[in-house]
Structure 1
C-alpha cells in the first residue's frame, strides 16, 4: 500500500506544506530542533519539510534506489522544487487566487478514481502510509492553486491566429505524427557569462558520456537534469511533432526509437533528447448524423408534467396520425436554433448536441422517431434522418496545429515567467551543502 500511495504522492511531494514549529513544547528532549534551510521572500523552508519531500521520492524509487543521484544532489533538486513552489504560491496569493473546499473535494475524487479507489479508500490508504490526510488535501489545494496561476499567466499572454496555423501547416518543415520523448535539461542562468555557459555544456556532455557508458536514460535524467520533471526521469510523454520547437524537430525526425541526441542548445540551456517511440497520424473519419427535433420546455405557464404530456401528444400525432414533423416543430418547438427550420439540426458529430441526444441517436435507425425523452432543457422528440462518414483530417490537423502552437507558446511563456519570478525573489539557502556548486548564498533582491 505504501508503494501505491507513493506513486501518486510523487508529484505532490515537492510541495508538502509543513506546519512544524521551530520549538515544539511537547517534543521529546532527545528530538533535535527543526531548522530553517532556506528563506524565500517572507517565507521559510524547514529541514523537516525538505526531509519529508525527500522521503517521498525515496519511497517512489524503493527497489530502484540506484537511479537516484547522491543524497546531496537529490536534496538540492528537491529543495529547488520546494523554492519554486513557494514562489508560485506566494504569487498566487498576491493575485487573490483562492481554492474552495469543493475544489479540493473534486481533486480528491479525481485522484481516487485514477487509482481505482473510492474517496474513503483513498483516505484510508493515505493514513496507512503514515501521512496526514489533512496535509494531503493541502497538497492538492497547492497544486490547484499553481495550476490556476499557470492558466492565468498563459491566458493573458498566449494567442494563436489563423495565419500562424496556415504558416505552420504550409511550412516545409511541418511534420505530422507523434513521438514519445524523454529529455535532460541543463539550464543556463539568465545573464550567464561564457564560463557559466561552458560549465553547463560540460555537464551536458558528462550526462551524454554516462548514457553512452551504459547508464539508463531515466537514471541519467534524475542525476543530471535540472528540469522540473527530472525526478520523473524526464519523461515528456507523447507529443505531436508539430509541438516540438522547430530547432529540435528536425533532430527528432531523423532519430530512431531508442536513440539519444547530442546536446542541443536551446533558448534556456542544453537539451538531450531520447526518442522512446513514434507513431504516424491516421486519417480522421467521423460518423455524422442528420436529425431534427422538437423541444418542449417547462416554464412559468407550463409545468414539467404538462411539458411531458405535450411532448407525448406531439409524438402520437407524428407516429400515429402521420402529421408532418417539420410543421409541428415550427409551431410547437421551443428550441430557438432549429424551430424556424422545422427542427432541422443539420449534419453534426454525435456528441455535438450533448450526451443525452448522442445516446438516443446511437440506438435509432434512419427515419425513426424517438419516444419523448428528457434533458436539462426539457422534453425532446428526435427523428434521425441519416448518417454519413466525414473526413475530418484537415480540420483535425488545424485543431492540432492550433493546440501545438498554443502549447509551445504557453510552455515558453510560463518558463519565462518562472525565471523572472525567481530572478526577482529573495532566496537565501542557509545550509552550505544544499547550495548548488557555484551558486551564491542568496539570489534576487532583498524585499
Structure 2
C-alpha cells in the first residue's frame, strides 16, 4: 500500500511530466545532443549521492574549507558551551568560524613551509588527553562528537592547527624575542615597590579589527559578551574566536597587575572583581573582552588561600514544589543554619530536615564560587553560610569546621617574570605575523 509521501511524490512527478510533454509539443524539435552516448531510457543509479553540504566556502592558497567544516566546528562550540547555538546567532557565528578556519589553515600552511611536521602521533596524544578529560576513550569521543553534529576529524584539525602554530611561534618568533636580565630586575623592583596592591587572574578574548570593519567586529564582540552572560563557556569562546596566542589555553593571561596592561584594559580591570565580565574594550588593533577569575594582593598573604575543612548540609524538595510552598521550609532551614552550633550541630540539623551531610577537607577558599568566597571570607570556625542552591537541585549550607590561613607570600620568581615578559612579546609579534599571512594569502570565497 502506498504511503501519503509516496502518493505525493508520484503526483508531483506526473505533474512535471505533463508540463514537459506540453513544452515538447509546442517547441521546435532539436537534435538530442546525448544521442551518441546511447544512454538507457530508464536510469538506475548506484552508490551514495554526493552530500549537498560538501561545498567550498573558501579556498585558501588552494586548500578548500567546506560548509561541512564550518558546521562541524560550530557544533564543537555548542558542545563546549553545553548548549545549542541560538538560531538567530548561527549565521553570524558561521562567518566568525570561517574566519578562524582560514587563520587555522594559514597557520598550518606556514608551519609546513617552515618544514615543521605535526605527526598523527602528536595529534593522537592530545586527542587522548581531551577524551580522558571528558571521561571517554578516543573511540567514544568520536561517537559522541558525531552524535552532536561534529566529528573527530574536526577536533583533530583544530589540534593540528594549535600544535603547528605553537611550534611555528617557537621557531620564528620566540627565537627572535629577547628579554634581558635588567628588564626582569626592573619588573621585580616594581613588584616589590607595589607590595599590597591588587593583581588579577584574567582571561581575554581578543578580536582584531581594522578601520574598515571596526563596527562589525564591535557588534560581534557585543554578541559574544551576551552569550557569555547567558552562561556560555569563556574558555570555549576564547579557543574558537580569540585571535591572541592565548586562545589555545582558553584565553588565560595568568596573574597580571593592571599597570602591566594597556591603559584601556588597565582602567577597566581596576573596576572589576572576581567572577565579573567586561564589555568589549576598544584597544589599538581591535577589541578585548576581559573576565576576572580571581584577585589577590601582590606579595601579601591572601585570605583566599585559606584551606578549609567543611561540612555541607543539603535538603531536597519533592518534584514540582514551587517557591511559595518551599518558602516556609527554607526560612526554618536558614534559621537553623544561623544557630547551627558548629560542625557538631550539622548532623542534628540534617536529621531535623531529613537532609544529607557531606564532609570535605583541604578545600581552598579560592576554589569555591566567587559568591561563596565573599560570603565566607569573614566567617569564623563553627559558622554556616546562608542557604544557597535551587528548589529543583537542592538547597545547602556550608559549615566551617577548620581553617588554616595563608602564612605569607613568596618573593617574586625571576623565571616567572621572564616567562610573562616573553609571552607578552611573542603574543604581539604573533598577531603581526598572522596579519601578514592574511595579507599575502590568496583566498577565494565561494
TM-score (norm: length of structure 1): 0.52
How many pairs were matched up? Answer: 285
Matching residue of 2:126: 107
Match runs of 1:9-408 below 5 Å = 26-28=47-49, 31-32=51-52, 34-63=54-83, 65-66=85-86, 70-117=89-136, 121-127=137-143, 129-130=145-146, 140-171=159-190, 178-189=199-210, 192=211, 197=214, 199=215, 203=219, 207=222, 215-216=229-230, 218=232, 227-228=242-243, 236-237=251-252, 239-242=254-257, 244-247=260-263, 248-261=265-278, 264-280=281-297, 393-394=410-411, 396-408=412-424
The 1:146/1:113 distance shift into structure 2, 3 A limit, reads same
Using the alignment, how far apart are the partners of 2:268 and 2:145 within structure 1?
A: 44
Q: Secondary structure at the match of 1:39?
A: strand
1:85-133: CA deviation from partner (whole Å, max 9, x where unpaired): 110111111111113344344334433443455xxx3323323543766
CA distance in 1, matches of 2:155, 2:281: 39
Aligned to 1:422: 438
Structure 1 residue 420, shift from structure 2 partner: 1.3
Cα-to-partner distance string for 1:417-436 (whole Å, 9 max, x where unaligned): 11111112122322xxxxxx
**Separation in 1, partners of 2:160, 2:151:** 14
Deviations 1:379-407 (A, max 9, x none): xxxxxxxxxxxx9933x432221121111
Structure 2 distance, partners of 1:47, 1:422, is 20
**Secondary structure of 1:82's aligned partner:** helix
* Cα separation, 2, equivalents of 1:96 and 1:167: 38
- Change beyond 3 A, Cα 1:28–1:113: closer
- Secondary structure, in 3 states, of the residue corresponding to 1:273? strand
| Mapped contact 2:225–2:279 kept (Cα < 8 A) | no
Secondary structure of the corresponding residue to residue 170 of structure 1: helix
Q: Deviations over 1:346-403 (max 9, x none)?
A: xxxxxxxxxxxxxxxxxxxxxxxxxxxxxxxxxxxxxxxxxxxxx9933x43222112
Q: Which whole-Å deviations, capped at 9, do the CAs of 1:11-59 have from their partners, x for residues lacking one?
A: xxxxxxxxxxxxx983227x43732111211212122222222233334
Cα distance in 2, alignment partners of residues 168 and 419 from structure 1: 30
State the SS of the aligned residue for 1:34: coil
Q: Deviations over 1:332-358 (max 9, x none)?
A: xxxxxxxxxxxxxxxxxxxxxxxxxxx
Residue ranges of structure 1 left out of the alignment (5+ in a row): 1-23, 285-390, 431-447
Q: Structure 1 residue 411 and structure 2 residue 427: aligned?
A: yes
Q: Which runs of 5+ in 2 are unaligned?
A: 1-44, 302-407
47 and 262 in structure 1: CA distance in 2 versus 1, 3 angstrom threshold:
closer
Distance 1:214 1:54 in 2: 16
Contact 2:218 2:287 in 1 (8 A): no
Looking at structure 1, the residues matched to 158 and 250 of structure 2 have their Cα atoms a distance apart, in angstroms, of 23
1:179–1:241: 8 Å Cα contact kept in structure 2? Answer: yes
* Alpha-carbon distance between aligned partners in 2 of 1:226 and 1:142, rounded to the nearest angstrom: 14
Provide the secondary structure at the position in 2 that maps to 1:277: strand
Give distance in 2, aligned partners of 1:32 and 1:201: 31
Give the Cα–Cα distance (whole angstroms) in 2 for the partners of residues 138 and 147 of structure 1: 14
* Kept after mapping to 1: 8 A contact 2:218/2:280: no
CA shift at 1:219, angstroms?
8.1
**Would the alpha carbon gap of residues 59 and 392 (structure 1) be closer, same or farther in structure 2, given more than 3 Å must change?**
closer
Whole-angstrom distance in 1 between the partners of 2:76 and 2:415: 39
Structure-2 residue corresponding to 1:444: none
When residues 263 and 124 of structure 1 are mapped into structure 2, their CA distance, relative to the original with a 3 A threshold, is closer
